[in-house]
Amino acid sequence: MKKISIALFILCFIMIPTSSAFTDISDAKVVSISLVNQDPDPAIAGYVMEIYLGIENRGGETANDLMVEFVPEYPFTLVTDEPAVQNIGTMKSYQYDDYMKIITYTIKVDSDASAGSHDLKVRYYEFGDSTVIEKSITIDVKNREMAEIIQIDKTNLVPGKQSGLTFTVNNVGKAPLRDLTFSWINEDKVILPVGSDNTKYIKNIDIGESVDLDYQVIADPNADPGLYELKLYLTYDDPITYEEKEISTIAGVNVGGGTDFEVAFSDNSGTETSFSIANIGSNPAYSVSVIVPRQNGWEISGSNSVIIGNLNKGDYTVASFNLRSIQQMTDLQIQNVQADSKQIPGQRSAIQESNSLIVQIAYTDTMGERKVIEKDVTLTPQNIDSDMVAGISKKRDLEQQSALGTYKWYIAGFIILIIGVVLYKKYKRRKLVDPQFQIKDIFHELKKNS
């Protein structure tokens, strides 16, 4: 019983000052500031937000010329031209709840602010009073998730040829990205995925990291060369709005580019050598020129380049040059060939040193770039030998004809000379017998006898 009385005494002692404290607010200014609303909620790092502060006076005494001041402190700053101090005016006694005064501030949240709760500080005081009270208001901040498709590793595809195509997705925001879906489409259906569909899924991408998405693609072999549009789509869940967000963009991929050629020996007529030029690639070639550059073992008379114009894929044409090997037989070698046919293989081995010829193909590709392809063309020994033997035979015939023509005139002159001597001696003998005999009488006698 005694213990209960002591406990009741202590309890009454504690309640007396508390009760008096509640009764004292009738003669005091009890000003409070609270966060009424914010937009957006939560705040987003790097973005501007508006905060709405509610000002109340729960005391029985009026507060005159009440001033509220925003205190800039990381990660919150005022936007340009926004006043930090606002004059609330008079707050009457017991002015709260539905009668509170509301003020707004437009604030910038630092782009580097980490996700979480941050304190926004304000001060309030009566104008002219040195008593200043500071209040901290908790603001929740989240980082905006941002993704960017920053790169396509290949922008040139060869028609009909399977190629790898890689898309890089980068997280450029301040929060991890989760549950992403990436897809692409070419509405012309010239570029299509091979071995998989056009959609890939990504579980997450951390801040500042990237993910490569690899595809195998092929361009239609019958596609016209040119630039084709790819539409790219990336979707992910935005935890701030709790909605699915989609990023869509476009990228250009060129179908076309360079090509390849086949160069082969075609024909040889005298000193003119012809080559077949075939476009064996997947793209057309424009303004094609065939060039035989200066090189050891070969000599070109006339122009060393031939312009053949445009050459579509699968087409071919012929280019001719006045071409000859510098290693030619001497007159002695020709005589040896004539005397002994076994010398021809020896001559073939000497000529084989020059039976490889470098030919250049210059052309403009479908992207407008000028390119040069170099080919090593082998001229067959059989063609070279036959041409050489034909040349030797022709030279020998010409020399024989020349010699025969020269000797024919010598022989004719010698015969005429002998006939003249015989006729002169006969004329002398007849003149001694008949002084009236004349040389014309000899021709009459010859004619009469014939």
Q: Using one digit for the tens of pLDDT, what is the confidence trace for 236-271?
A: 877 666 678 888 889 889 998 889 999 999 888 877
The predicted structure's pLDDT at residue 240: 63
Domains assigned to the chain = 22-142 (2.60.40.10), 147-255 (2.60.40.10), 264-379 (2.60.40)
**Residue 79: both structure tokens together:** 């936007």
Confidence of residue 12 (pLDDT cuts 50, 70, 90): very low
Task: Provide the β-strand partners of residue 183.
Answer: 199, 233
431 has a pLDDT exceeding 70: no
Poorest-confidence range of 5-14, 102-111, 252-261, 324-333?
5-14
Residue 176 has pLDDT above 60, yes or no: yes
How does strand 43-44 pair with strand 133-142? Answer: parallel
User: Between the CA of residue 94 and those of 30, 58, 197, what are the distances in Å?
Assistant: 9, 4, 69
Sign of the CA dihedral running 404, 409, 413, 419: positive
Q: How confident is the model at residue 405 (pLDDT cuts 50, 70, 90)?
A: low
The burial of 360, by beta-carbon neighbours within 10 Å (0-12 exposed, 13-18 middle, 19 or more buried), is given as: middle
At 335, which amino acid appears? Q
Cα→Cα distances 16→5, 26, 27, 39, 332, Å = 17, 17, 18, 45, 143
Strand partners, 227: 254
The arithmetic mean of pLDDT across residues 363-386, rounded, is 79
Determine the pLDDT at residue 350: 40
Longest dimension (CA), the chain: 211
Least confident of 131-140, 153-162, 199-208, 332-341: 332-341
